[in-house]
A and B are shown apart, each in its own frame.
Chain A
Amino acid sequence: MDAIVKKRIKQVIKGDQDAFGEIVELYKNSIYQLCFRMLGNRHEAEDIAQEAFIRAYVNIKSFNQDLKFSTWLFRIATNLCIDRMRKKKPDHYLDAEVAGTDGLTMYSQIPSNTPLPETELESLELQETVQKEILKLPDKYRSAIVLKYMEELSLNEISEILDLPLGTVKTRIHRGREALRQQLRYV
């Protein structure tokens, strides 16, 4: 796969947008998931994930081809997410939490047509709980936890993506794990 990606990147550098489309196809799910886990909102996640790919395209000439492309792409996306989290304004998206309710989103205000089977409902609840707890983590722990357990990247890759020493990454993951444990222990 790395060889294909390298070849496509050479084509993209020449300006071939079809080749870039193939790169987007390869990484769109992981980048979208990263953004959603970091931001907790589908609209924002899609917007930021698209932005990450566009930045990668525009700056492709500054990408060092000896390095792993996915690391570089994850770095762009993570930085964009952290920027967005810092200047987050009050929003009115459907999956934003409704004020005064505990974790209810606008989606839950829309009546659903099909009743969910109980097991699916339970797993959905678990997913929502986990997502909610991840969103409560301070952003430096959140990015490390999402990259480690949702994107399943190695500690070395995470250290490259976050541009931090390995030891710092480990500390953040340890603290993130501990914070999540305290929230999720009774689930």
Chain B
Amino acid sequence: MCPEQIIELMHEYLDEEITPEHERTLREHLQSCKDCEALFNELKKTIAFVKSVSYMQAPDDFTANVLARLPKEKKKIWMQRWVKNHPMLAAASLFFILMMGSLFSTWNEDREFSVTKQKNLVVQNNTVIVPKGETVKGDVIVRNGKLKIEGEVQGDVTVINGEKYLASAGHVTGQIDEVNEVFDWIWYHIKKTTHDVVQIFEEQPETK
């Protein structure tokens, strides 16, 4: 039988926590005791065996299987990642959504009767009249109401969500537009915005 304190020193050695002093004691003893030397070698061999057992690899689809078993990802994160991966597309779609939203909301909120203020226009209830023999200068826009043209309009006429009557004697120098559907409304807005933008550019040289 090997002495208990020598076995203790062997374990200290194998734990790599042995002091130089203890190591000397151990080595001196091992040289004189064949039993202890054999036991020490067996312990070292055992560790080598256990360590030699090859490194194991998880199955190929391991990660995919784990991810498939996770609780559903939050929508927010999915959106964030999508935005990160497609910044241009995200910006474009955000712009598109906002634009459509604002257009729809103006269309929906804009249910009240209104008309551009111009000289000679007569308003009766929700009907705007360009009286016979009178001339209205500038563009006329009527929202949510009727427009009767018996005189002359020197400019464009737009009726949004309403009706217009052009009497035989009536005359419009510019374009006549009737906007009744949402898509017409959007188209009208786009045209108007483009027109405004173009005008800004056109006006600039004049102001100089």
Contact = CB atoms under 8 A, between A and B. Distances in A.
Given A46-B58, A130-B53, A174-B11, A180 B46 contact: yes
A50 interface: yes
Contacts of B54: 123, 127
A50 B63 CA distance: 8
B71 interface: yes
A25 interface: yes
Contact of A49 (B43, B49, B62): B62
A50 B76 contact: no
B39 to A, nearest CB: 8
A25 B71 contact: no
B62 A24 contact: yes
B69 A177 contact: no
B204 interface: no
A74 B65 CA distance: 19
Interface stretch (A53-61, A64-72, A89-97, A102-110): A53-61
A15 B43 contact: no
A145 interface: yes
A164 interface: no
B62 A46 contact: yes
A81 B198 CA distance: 73
A33 B55 contact: yes
Contacts of B74: 15
Interface string B79-93: 001000000000000
Interface in B1-25: 11, 14-15
B11 A32 contact: no
A14 B77 contact: yes
B70 A20 contact: yes
Given A32-B56, A49-B62, A177-B43, A130 B50 contact: yes
B62 A50 contact: yes
B108 interface: no
The size class of the interface chain A forms with chain B is: 35 or more
Contacts of B66: 21, 24, 28, 50, 53-54
Contacts of B67: 17, 20-21, 24
B205 interface: no
A121 interface: no
A150 B46 contact: no
A181 B50 CA distance: 10
Nearest to A54: B69
Nearest to B74: A15
Contacts of A85: none
Given A126-B52, A130-B50, 17 more contacts: A17-B67, A17-B70, A20-B67, A21-B66, A25-B63, A29-B55, A29-B56, A32-B58, A53-B66, A57-B71, A58-B71, A149-B47, A149-B50, A178-B43, A180-B49, A181-B42, A184-B42
25 contacts: A15-B76, A18-B81, A20-B70, A24-B63, A24-B67, A28-B58, A29-B55, A29-B57, A32-B57, A32-B59, A32-B62, A33-B55, A46-B59, A50-B69, A54-B70, A57-B71, A126-B49, A127-B54, A149-B47, A170-B11, A181-B42, A181-B46, A184-B45, A184-B49, A185-B46
Interface of A: 14-18, 20-21, 24-25, 28-29, 31-33, 36, 46, 49-50, 53-54, 57-58, 123, 126-127, 130-131, 134, 145, 149-150, 152, 155, 170, 173-174, 177-178, 180-181, 184-185, 187
